[in-house]
Structures are given as structure tokens and as C-alpha cells.
């Protein structure tokens, strides 16, 4: 999955589902569908919310374009 976005920041920065959806221009449902298929990194659960490591997301994004979080 290539896109023209990249999340810029510390490797262990945690990114919200909202930021993931906005960065990838995708819906929450499509993100969770890909997680269940094994095509997207699993989130870290913090209470009732989900967060992703920026470093995990950067592995699937195009490094040519940077978006700061």
C-alpha cells in the first residue's frame, strides 16, 4: 500500500485512529478490516482507545512525503 504521506516524528510516538484515517484518507472501517485480514499493524490499546506506533505506520507509507503529527 503506497500513498503520498508519511508520518514524521519519533519512532515511538503513538498516533490516534483519527490521525491514521486522515493521513491515509481511509475510513475507520477499512482500517479495522485490514487489521482483521493481517494487512495493517495491530493497534496498542490504551483504555478504550487505539493507538499505533508511528514507526509501524511509516513502514507502510511512502517516505517521499512527510506529514508531521
CATH number of residue 57's parent domain: 1.10.238
pLDDT of residue 14: 94
**Owning domain of residue 43:** 7-68
Whether residue 49 lies inside any domain: the answer is yes
| Total tally of structural domains belonging to the chain | 1
| Mean pLDDT per 10-residue interval, the chain, length 69 residues | 53 88 93 96 93 87 56
Whether residue 1 lies inside any domain: the answer is no
- Helix H or strand E encompassing 22: helix 17-24
pLDDT of residue 62: 64
Model's pTM, two decimal places? 0.70
Q: Are 55 and 12 in contact (CB under 8 A)?
A: yes
pLDDT of residue 5: 59
Query: Which of 48, 10, 28 is CA-nearest to residue 57?
Result: 10
Amino acid at each position: 500500500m503506497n500513498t503520498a504521506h508519511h508520518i514524521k516524528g519519533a519512532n515511538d510516538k503513538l498516533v490516534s485512529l483519527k490521525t491514521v484515517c486522515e493521513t491515509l484518507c481511509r475510513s475507520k472501517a477499512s482500517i479495522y478490516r485490514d487489521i482483521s485480514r493481517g494487512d495493517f499493524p495491530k493497534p496498542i490499546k490504551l483504555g478504550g482507545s487505539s493507538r499505533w506506533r508511528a514507526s509501524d505506520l511509516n513502514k507502510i507509507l511512502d517516505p517521499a512525503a512527510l506529514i508531521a503529527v
